[in-house]
A and B are shown apart, each in its own frame.
Chain A
Amino acid sequence: MKLKHISSLIGAVALAAGMLAGTAHAEDKVGFVYVGPVGDHGWTYRHDVGRKAIEEAFDGKVKTSAVENVKEGPDSERVIRKLASEGHKLIFTTSFGFMNPTLKVAKQFPDVKFEHATGYKRADNVSTYSARFYEGRYVVGKIAGKMTKTNVIGYVGSVAIPEVVRGINAMTLAARSVNPNVTVKVAWINSWYDPGKEGDAAKILIDQGADIILQHTDSPAPLQVAESRGVWAVGQASDMSKFAPKAQLTAIIDNWDKYYVERTKAVLDGTWKSQDIWGGLDTGMVELSPYNEAIPEDVVALAEEARKGIIDGSIHPFTGPFKKQDGSVGAAEGETLGDDVLLGMDWYVEGVEGQLPK
């Protein structure tokens, strides 16, 4: 009896302390909707790392839940609505195709905050966020341009949307700035995640002379192919060196941890506001994994110069002069393309081979 009293007293004190600490509710829940499996080791995996960062940062005061493998489009609406009606305060929907469903559900749950990745439609309770991955690709381009012997860089493309095209162009501009003979071959697989097809595309690009493989797809299969064929590759979304210890030059890492923790905190504090964030290397949303030791020092220096330049704002990947693939002017001398152009980019720069699928 006595023991029970003491423990309930401790419980009450703890509860009071918790309330004093300012975290309003004992059960604050944050929900996530993923387009792929957590085990993709790429895009979705990195979002899940961010989810875990929330759990860690709030030390059990915030509960998170995630739904994997949610198809883009109407079916995702059901999933998002379920999370909202289960009392999640903040819901991250982490793929472009969740845009309209997110807005639809947000209308019905005005008290729930939503964060949609890579979209462009917002509402009072819907923010959008994305990362400037092309900045990372620009840095990688410097390395690729220097490291290629065949002067052919292979690029495994997913779906031909501006996001992906921008990455190809940024990489190409950087590579050609250090090696004007470089050409870039692109193989589109029309999917974000299909290890078999990604690997096939990498094999084909190597067969056609590429000795560096970049990818904008989510599995490590292209790196694995590069490793077995003895060419270079660049990891996507997370450090993939486990799959290609020799071949991975570096990896472009998505880092959502800080942003997710900040936004969760804002919801708890009541300071959350709808916004649009497009963070790059400077915010830490985009990072590069450690450079491969096989890269010569002067090349590392070139890459670091680009990285630091982007961070301090002295370098912008899309600064002219450069030409589009068709020979027309992409940006004039000294001109820098604005975000509106970048967000709608549907043309290749000079140096990329083949036609952009329409």
Chain B
Amino acid sequence: MSGFDWIVPVFLTVITAATPLVFAAIGELVSEKSGVLNLGVEGMMLVGAATGFIAVTVTGSYFLGVAAAAFAGAAMALLFGILTLSLMANQVATGLALTLFGVGLSALMGQDFVGVPVDALTKLNIPGLSDIPFLGPILFAQDALVYLSIIMVGVVGWFLYKTKAGLILRAVGDSHDAAHAIGYPVIAIRYLAVLFGGAMSGIGGAYLSLAYTPMWAENMTAGRGWIALALIVFATWKPGLVLLGAYMFGGITILQLHAQAAGLDVPSQFLSMLPYVATIVVLVLISKDQSRIRKHAPACIGRVFHPAA
């Protein structure tokens, strides 16, 4: 290993490690922006991972696989929506239950698919561009889902801050009573946001089972849903920072493995907990400096909406 030729493989690994986080976090961000805290991300990801994998093994089509994963994630989110939005159950408790449910459901669904190998999602080599030294393999030779994840961050950012619908969604998340008084359908908007979050989590899960480690194994998300939730707080609910944070969280993991393999003395346990430490630090800052950071945090997050007559 001489010079800088180790940088390219590091970047490639970081990108694949970060992509499931980007999907799950950007979806959950929209849900939280509408005022709904769905702690079931891990469960939705797992169900998405299992469904996507099953769909690909059965149909052979990756497009159908990803679509099925999005659909399954959304179906889980719908369940969450019915419980919390229509039946007004506590969001935190319901979200935790959704995760437990997802772990079990995905294991049940995937039972016959354990140990079945599939081919990994192919990388799209953009002719010419992917041959550019250094930047080529990083920017122009990823699989379609990596590009989709980055596009989704752009789309969500544009939607939330540049469209009227996005403004309404944020209004619902900041003050559901005011939004309701003006006449916006608070519950319907929240349903849509939650469904979008579920679909994205599902795709994030499918990225794991189809591209990252192309196989189905129980509990294969191994806590990534929780990292995605932490990531949103870390990014102070800003889409761009979610992307940056995901690559940073992924990068820390990969770099510490690299450092270890290279024989450097790094306390791996410490680096493993760094993302969570960073999140706690940000949380502390948020509560300290209300005006600056908190303007992006949805004010009504986690609060049950009781429409006044």
List A residues at the B interface (Cβ < 8 Å): 36-41, 69, 154, 185-191, 193-201, 203-205, 207-209, 219-221, 224, 228, 242-243, 353-355, 357
Contact = CB atoms under 8 A, between A and B. Distances in A.
Interface in B226-271: 253-254, 257-258, 260-265, 267-269
B48 to A, nearest CB: 15
Contacts, number: 121
Nearest to B264: A354
Contacts of A201: 257, 261
Given A39-B217, A40-B218, A188-B268, A197 B253 contact: yes
Interface string B1-32: 10000100110010011001000000000000
Interface residues of B, number: 43
B110 interface: yes
Interface string B201-212: 000000010001
A224 B213 contact: yes
Contact of B260 (A187, A195, A243): A187
Contacts of B214: 224
Interface of B: 1, 6, 9-10, 13, 16-17, 20, 103, 107, 110-111, 114-115, 117, 120, 208, 212-220, 222-224, 253-254, 257-258, 260-265, 267-269, 272
B111 to A, nearest CB: 7
Given A188-B260, A195-B217, A195-B220, A209 B1 contact: yes
A204 B257 contact: yes
Top 5 nearest A-B pairs (CB, nearest first) are A37-B218, A39-B114, A194-B222, A207-B9, A353-B263
A199 B120 CA distance: 13
B268 A228 contact: no
A203 B9 contact: yes
A59 B220 CA distance: 34
Contacts of A185: 261-263
Given A190-B268, A191-B222, A195-B213, A228 B120 contact: yes
A200 B263 CA distance: 17
Given A187-B261, A207-B10, A193 B222 contact: yes
A209 B9 CA distance: 12
Contacts of A208: 1, 6, 258, 261-262
Contacts of B261: 154, 185-187, 201, 204-205, 208, 354
Contacts of A186: 260-261
Contacts of A195: 208, 213, 215, 217, 220, 222
Given A41-B217, A186-B260, A200-B253, 5 more contacts: A40-B218, A197-B222, A207-B258, A219-B220, A355-B265
